[in-house]
Amino acid sequence: MDPAEIVGNFLRILPQAIVSGVALGSVYALIAQGYYVTFTTTETVNFAQGEFLMVGALTSFTLLVLNGVNFVVALIVVMLLMAAMGMAVERVAIRPLRQLSSVGWVLSTVGVSVILRQFAEIYWGREQKRVPSIFGDTPITLGNVGIFPQEIFIILASLLTMALLLVFLKRSTFGKALQAVAFNPAAAGLMGINVRQMIVVAYVISSILAGIAGMLVAPIIFAHAEMGALLGLKAFAAAIIGGIENPIGILVVGIGLGIAEFIAAGINASFRDAATFLILILLLAWRPQGLFRRVTAEKV
Amino acid sequence: MSSSRSSFWAHRISAPVFHHISVAGIILTLAALVAIIVVPITLDNAYFMRIAQQIAFYTIAAIGLNILVGYQGQVSLGHGGLFAIGAYTSALLATRLGVPVWLCLVGGAALAGLIGALVALPTLRAKGPYLAMVTIAFSVIIYVLAQNWTDLTRGPEGIKSIPGIMVFGTEIRQLRTYRPFGDDGLAIGGSVAYFWVVAVSALIVQVLSIHLLSSHWGRTINAVRQSEIASETIGVSVYRWKVGAFALSAVLAGLAGGFFAHQDGYIVSDTFTFNKSVELLVYVILGGARSLFGPVIGATVLVILPEFLKMLESFDFMPAIVKPLLEHYLLLYGILLIVFLITMPEGMAGALKRVPWLAHLLPPRTAPETRPVAGLANSRVADGAARVELVADDVKMYFGGLRAVDGVSLTVQPGQIHGLIGPNGSGKSTIVNCLTGVYRPTGGVVRLGSRTMNALPPHAIAALGVTRTFQNIQLFRDLSVLENVMMGYHLRMRYGFFDMLLRTRRSVEEEERFRQAAMDLLSFLGLAHLAETEAQSLPYGLQRLVEIARAMALDPAVLILDEPAAGVPAGEIATLSDVIRRIRDAGVTILVIEHHMDLVMGISDHVAALDYGRKIAEGSPEEIQANERVIAAYLGDKDMFALPESEPLVEPAHTTNGVTTR
């Protein structure tokens, strides 16, 4: 292939990659904000975040498709379920292992992810489930670029959710308490903040974000037991590269990753995931602290 | 303490390699060998043989993963991917290039090790959960490649007819069943022979891993897990050791993968999902991380468990709800993983260790004899290498806008005790971090004699003879006091990896020599009676002394003590002063950072004072005690006290930023 052809090919797929990439990337960003919330408060993340998303997506299938429940009701049910699961994972997999050793919580949340995947295979079966979009499946086309109404909804809903989250974290007393715990748990405790409760809240928020992301993304990628692993992993990649304590960086990188992925898919569809992770590993080699994270000195 | 029976078990045998093996060790190894030979002949069942082969090669992978996860403390969820690399490499070398299978296995292990190192190189520099996540990504990449790079791997269709190992000119699966004791007697066929090959390999890996983990190699990766920064300051290149441990564990994963490929002569990409990595990790955690026999126990129990569940499936009495569990045994693995992590973090091996008669079989640990020690023999002092000054010349260290150290010059004269004082936040610890390579200064020069040290990492500075202790004690908590001090000899241990692997006479003798040296050092500091105590169980003051002992094991030219009196009870300050003086008298140059004025002023030959990142005074202890800027820095300027009889002070340290605004 001569260079002109490669460039031409690239330019041809670029507009569509940007449109589809922004939609998928905003889902990555939404999931990754969940990593941000728990990491800043506890320096732990839920490695089963992707599986939480999967449970959210499959639950929405059960509610919307099998039982014909209204979308808003389904959303509320999913959020409640996620809140309960967030509390459970904090209680079972994080709290007992946070101090014990630095790796215990990684292993236990990986254990949770395995359990949820197997449970989903047993309960929902292995086949892929189609969850129809409430906005229909007719793409809007502009020139040779097509966008599904659901994709527009994903972008708007993710951005709105993230905006609400940031306002909540920065403005409300509750959010400030959460930030205080992140900054210095001991001092926050002395100021009368219930640190343990704040950690639970962080996990509840993180899980709800995963659930919302699952409901949003299900109509465009099919819901099935294995769907969460890759989404959760790519979102974590976005969180690391964006700087896990920088929500805006996470948003930017999440969307960038989505676009990069669709460009890679346009070039060779079967190596799309391999390419994405290769980018992650190379970026980490180049900047271990993430793109936007300032290098901080470790106190000894 | 020891009965005649236990001393028989602990009796050791001299040999050029496998030196100093205890009788218990030999008997255990021989028993394992006999079991490997006899058990399969009596079973004579292809299905059982397959399970036994699996146990053997998963044991190899689990031993490797335990080195990484248990001892070195890094989580890898990528070992399934490395296992796949071993399997595909070995299979492709054999089918495409016709390489002899023995070499294929070696090639698969080597490539897995190389790729493991390549994955570890960039990611080990990042901290926290990143490595775990990157290794998951690695697993996924390998699976995607296996699935889609069909020209090479044939994807889900699989690579067929992979040759087996050749035995006496016959391919192992073609071996005719041999019945040495008549038609109804014991049978030896191809699957038994292959089990022997894999199981004996596993036994060799087990024995060598015990050698390695109970040698200085094992002690070092333990130390790195417990405190990277302390390991660096005694000369361990933490990064190199972490990459090394990862590569070694990758080699074993690759070897196991090779054995897997040649088991049935058929591999498909579906085998190598992320779940393979989880399974390997579960073997290690449930078997017992950081335990020598945990991996073999874990692999044995957990390979049998799903097969056992499948067997139960044929019984009618099973309630319907249990059925899905049989197919989805990973669900059970996940639950067991969490339950073990919370209730039994030491795994099944940890539980066995508590069985009294089993514990009795382990050879007791004994410290070397204490002998009277007159003084410290320091090689650097002896050959004059310690007669150089440590210099900080206009050193600056900025963190963003914060000028923690803003142009400080210090000269620590050889053979002296140099005190460095200053209020909290004055930049003392930052200076120490610049001098020891923990921070790279923003500006200025740090040098030892004429040797500039600015860009050197801590372990290279340690090699030059500059070491330190820490304000917040950085001992290797789980190691004994003696082992902590032995880590201090890291740079002087000359025996290499293969010496330790084969336990050569040289490695054992040198190890004994350093044990004795460590013991002498402890005697010198009056800590000999604590040699076998776990470091973390000591009171604070003694922990500080152990840290000093460990630093002294380097034969340092310069010893930097960062707040050695912090947290030490008032009654023990005199002991500490005495120890510091004795070290100085042995010829070692000392820089001591301290708040405790009685200590600093009592022992120092020369004192410098810092405030707000600048040096405000320097001189003899008496001069510093009388210096008004120093007094102002510690107590605030005159206006705060406004003592009527006080003379006006010359130029207070901070005219606007008094104590009140700190």
Where does the pLDDT of residue B184 fall: very low under 50, low under 70, confident under 90, or very high at 90 and above? low
Mean of pLDDT values over B623-632 = 85
Q: Which long-range contacts (CB under 8 A, 24 or more apart) does A260-264 make?
A: A260/A21, A261/A21, A261/A24, A261/A25, A261/A234, A262/A13, A262/A16, A262/A17, A262/A18, A262/A20, A262/A21, A262/A24, A263/A10, A263/A13, A263/A14, A263/A17, A263/A21
B-facing residues of A in 94-123 (CB < 8 A) are 96-97, 100-104, 106-108, 110-115, 117-119, 121-122
Using DSSP's 3-state secondary structure scheme, residue B616 falls into strand
Helix (H, G, I), strand (E, B) or coil at B377: coil
pLDDT at B157: 79
Torsion of CA B583, B586, B590, B596, to 10 degrees: 30
Cβ pair B338:A93 closer than 8 A: yes
Least confident interval from A251-255, B190-194, B658-662: B658-662
- The residue among B311, B327, B312 whose CA lies nearest residue B45 is B311
- Residue B656's pLDDT is 38
Q: Which two tokens stand for residue A154?
A: 């994903």
Q: Do B335 and A111 touch (CB under 8 A)?
A: yes
Task: Give the up-direction half-sphere exposure of residue B186: CA atoms within 13 A in the CB hemisphere.
Answer: 11
Q: Please report the pLDDT score of residue B179 as a whole number.
A: 64
CATH topology of domain A14-261: ABC transporter involved in vitamin B12 uptake, BtuC (1.10.3470)
Segment B165-172 mean pLDDT:
72
Specify whether the CB–CB gap between B598 and B613 falls below 8 A.
no
Q: What is the DSSP string of B418-483?
A: EEEE--TTSSHHHHHHHHTTSS--SEEEEEETTEE-TT--HHHHHHHTEEE--SS----TTSBHHH
- B643: burial class by Cβ within 10 Å (0-12, 13-18, 19+)? exposed
pLDDT-derived band of residue B183, with 50, 70 and 90 as boundaries?
A: low
Rounded CA separation B501/B512 (Å): 16
- pLDDT given at position B359: 65
Q: Is A88 on the interface with B (CB under 8 A)?
A: no
Confidence of residue B234 (pLDDT cuts 50, 70, 90): very high
| Least CB–CB distance from B129: residue in A45, A97, A300 | A45
Backbone angles phi, psi at A216, to 5 degrees: -70, -40
Q: Which residue of A has its CA nearest to B472?
A: A300
Give the pLDDT confidence score for residue B653 in this predicted structure: 39
Provide the 3-class DSSP secondary structure of residue B563. Answer: coil
d(CA B4, CA A64): 75
Q: What is the pLDDT of residue B658?
A: 35
pLDDT of residue B654: 41
Query: What is the pLDDT, as a whole number, of residue A240?
Result: 85
- Ordered alpha helix ranges (H), B74-129: 79-96, 101-123
Backbone phi and psi for residue B457, each to the nearest 5 degrees, phi listed first: -75, 160
Evaluate the CA torsion angle B164, B165, B168, B172 in order and state its sign.
negative
Which pLDDT band holds residue A133 (cuts at 50, 70, 90)? confident
pLDDT at position A187 over 60: yes
Which amino acid makes up residue B112?
A
Residue B1's pLDDT band, with cuts at 50, 70 and 90, is very low
Structure tokens at B565: 């009196």
Q: What is the pLDDT of residues B440-473, one digit of tens each?
A: 999 999 999 889 998 899 999 999 999 999 988 8
CA dist., res. B361 & res. B10, Å (int): 8
Closest residue in chain B to residue A47, using alpha carbons only: B133
**Domains of chain A, residue spans:** 14-261
- Which residue of chain A has the CA closest to B342? A96
**What pLDDT sits at residue B24?**
76
Is it the case that residue A288 has pLDDT exceeding 60?
yes
Q: What is the pLDDT of residues B43-86, one digit of tens each?
A: 767 788 888 999 999 999 999 999 998 898 888 889 999 999 99
On whether the CB atoms of residues A203 and A86 are closer than 8 A, the answer is: yes
State what percent of residues in chain A have pLDDT above 70. 94
- Kindly list the domain boundaries of chain B, sorted by start residue: 4-361, 379-477+554-626
Distance CA B248, CA B254 (A): 10
Please give the CATH topology (third level) of the domain spanning B379-477+554-626.
Rossmann fold (3.40.50)
B439 interaction partners in chain A (CB closer than 8 Å): 297
Is the Cβ pair B141, A44 closer than 8 Å?
A: no
Rounded CA separation A205/A216 (Å) = 17
Give the containing element (helix H, strand E) for B523: helix B505-524
Q: How far apart are CA A228 and CA A234, in angstroms?
A: 10
Residue in A44, A97, A297 nearest the CB of B342 = A97
CA atoms in the 13 A half-sphere facing the CB of B192: 20
pLDDT in tens, B238-256: 989 999 999 999 999 999 9
Q: Are B459 and B237 in contact (CB under 8 A)?
A: yes
Angle at A249 between CA A246 and CA A255, to 5 degrees: 140
* Nearest residue, CB atoms, B136 vs list A107, A233, A294: A233
Rounded Cα distance between B83 and B256, Å, is: 6
Q: What is the pLDDT of residues A200-256, one digit of tens each?
A: 999 999 999 999 999 999 998 889 988 998 899 889 888 888 888 888 899 999 999
**B544 to each of B125, B229, B376, B494, how far by Cα in Å?**
29, 16, 19, 28
Give per-residue pLDDT as tens, B395-420: 999 987 888 888 899 999 998 999 99
pLDDT value for B155:
79
- Give the lowest-confidence range in A54-58, A243-247, A258-262, B382-386: B382-386
Task: List the single residue in A108, A281, A294 with the smallest CB-CB distance to B134.
Answer: A281
> How much is the ipTM here?
0.88
Instruction: Look at residue B651 and tell me whether its pLDDT is greater than 70.
Output: no
Quote the pLDDT of residue B176: 67
pLDDT of the residue at B526: 85
Q: Do A285 and B123 touch (CB under 8 A)?
A: yes
Residues from chain A that touch B134, judged by Cβ atoms under 8 A, are 280-281, 284
Check whether domain B4-361 has CATH 2.60.40, yes or no: no
CB pair distance less than 8 Å for B133 and A114: no
Q: What is the largest CA-CA distance in chain A?
A: 67
Whole-number percent of chain B with pLDDT over 90: 32
Amino acid at the residue B393: D
Task: Quote the pLDDT of residue B2.
Answer: 40
Q: How far B121 CA sits from the closest chain A CA (Å)?
A: 8
pLDDT exceeds cutoff 70 at A75: yes
Q: How far apart are CA B487 and CA B472, in angstroms?
A: 19
- Whether residues B138 and A281 touch (CB distance < 8 A) is answered with yes
Phi/psi region, residue A234 (left: phi>0; alpha: psi -120 to 50; beta: rest), is alpha
Mean pLDDT of A33-61: 92
Instruction: For residue A102, list chain B residues with Cβ-Cβ distance below 8 A.
Output: 73
Contact A110 B278 (CB under 8 A): yes
Higher-scoring residue by pLDDT: B134, B660: B134
Q: Residue B13's beta-bridge partner residues?
A: B21
Shortest distance, CA A118 to any CA of chain B (angstroms): 6
Tell me the C-alpha to C-alpha distance, in Å, between residue A290 and each of A203, A238, A252, B6, B438.
23, 9, 12, 56, 21
pLDDT for position B374:
65
Supply the mean pLDDT for chain B.
Answer: 83
Dist. CA B39–CA B53, nearest whole Å: 12
pLDDT exceeds 50 at position B590: yes
Q: How many other CB atoms sit within 10 Å of the CB of residue B58?
A: 27
**β pairing state of B170-171 and B390-399:** unpaired
Q: Which residues of chain A neighbour B144 with C-beta distances below 8 Å? A: 270-271, 273-274
A257-261: list long-range contacts, CB under 8 Å, 24+ apart: A257/A25, A257/A28, A258/A20, A258/A21, A258/A22, A258/A23, A258/A24, A258/A25, A258/A26, A258/A27, A258/A28, A259/A17, A259/A18, A259/A21, A259/A22, A259/A25, A260/A21, A261/A21, A261/A24, A261/A25, A261/A234
* Beta-sheet pairing, B443-448 with B417-421: unpaired
Predicted pLDDT at B660: 32
The answer on pLDDT for A293 being more than 60 is no
Q: Given an 8 Å threshold on Cβ–Cβ distance, is A297 in contact with B399?
A: yes
User: Between the CA atoms of B630, B636, B637 and B640, what dihedral angle is there, to the nearest 10 degrees?
Assistant: -150
Distance CA B297, CA B350 (A): 11
Token pair listed for B22: 């205890």
CA–CA separation, A97 vs B344, rounded Å?
Answer: 12
Q: Which residue of B has its CA nearest to A240?
A: B130
User: In this predicted model, what pLDDT tens digit does every residue of B303-346 receive, in sequence order?
Assistant: 888 888 877 777 766 677 677 777 788 888 899 999 998 888 88
